[in-house]
Structure 1
Amino acid sequence: MKKYIHAYISGIVQGVGFRYFAYKWAKRLGISGYVRNLRDGRVEVEAEGEEDVLREFIKKLEEGPLGAVVERVEVIWGECKNIFMDFEIR
């Protein structure tokens, strides 16, 4: 069943290639949505996909790329809205 997540990643997650890392994994897993840096230093992700695939994606977000220090990943789950056609870096 397709689901939707809205996630906030905290820690040392800007300037370390986190957005490209998330983009690469989203494309590999067939997830649609976006990733972007927030002004407060966090990274935001909105994504849609199969629930098991999203859970795998969240695990990757918790790891982050080499050089990142992920302190926290807050995830809000919801019903799939079918609002994204692809995954993009904003």
Structure 2
Amino acid sequence: MKRFHVIVDGKVQGVGFRYHTQITASQRDLTGWVRNKLDGTVELEVQGDPDQIVTFLSSLEKARFPAKVADIKSTEISIQENEGMFSVRG
């Protein structure tokens, strides 16, 4: 199991991107959270099977119109014990 902190840049706010992220993560049995940042990026943490995380991040790059991902930066961080789901934060 691994956990990553991720920043997604592009047209990712006001287009349903956080909810797309939540659904995509849940379909892969990943846990974590996603939220908008004041600078227009989306921040998330994702945890689970490393192969599932790779396919999850790849699917975010291909987000549907009107979302448009310009860049994804990820950094491995410490896992969180007993996290039960992937949530959207306000």
Asked if these proteins are the same fold (TM beyond 0.5), I'd say yes
Aligned residues: 89
| 1:37 partnered with 2:36 | yes
Tell me which stretches of 4 or more aligned residues in structure 1 moved more than 4 Å.
none
- 1:71-90 correspondence to structure 2 within 5 Å: 71-82=70-81, 84-90=83-89
Q: What's the counterpart of residue 58 of structure 2?
A: 59
Deviation at 1:51, TM superposition (A): 0.3
2:75 and 2:37 map into 1 onto residues whose CA distance is: 17
| 1:6 partnered with 2:15 | no
Deviation at 1:63, TM superposition (A): 1.4
Tell me the secondary structure at the aligned position of residue 34 of structure 2.
strand
After superposition, the C-alpha distances for 1:42-82 in whole angstroms (9 at most, x for unaligned) are: 00110110000000111011112321111100010234332
Could you state the TM-score of these two structures normalised by the residue count of structure 2?
A: 0.91
Q: Can you give the 5+ residue segments of structure 2 that lack an aligned partner in the other structure?
A: none
Q: Which amino acid is 1:9 matched to?
A: V
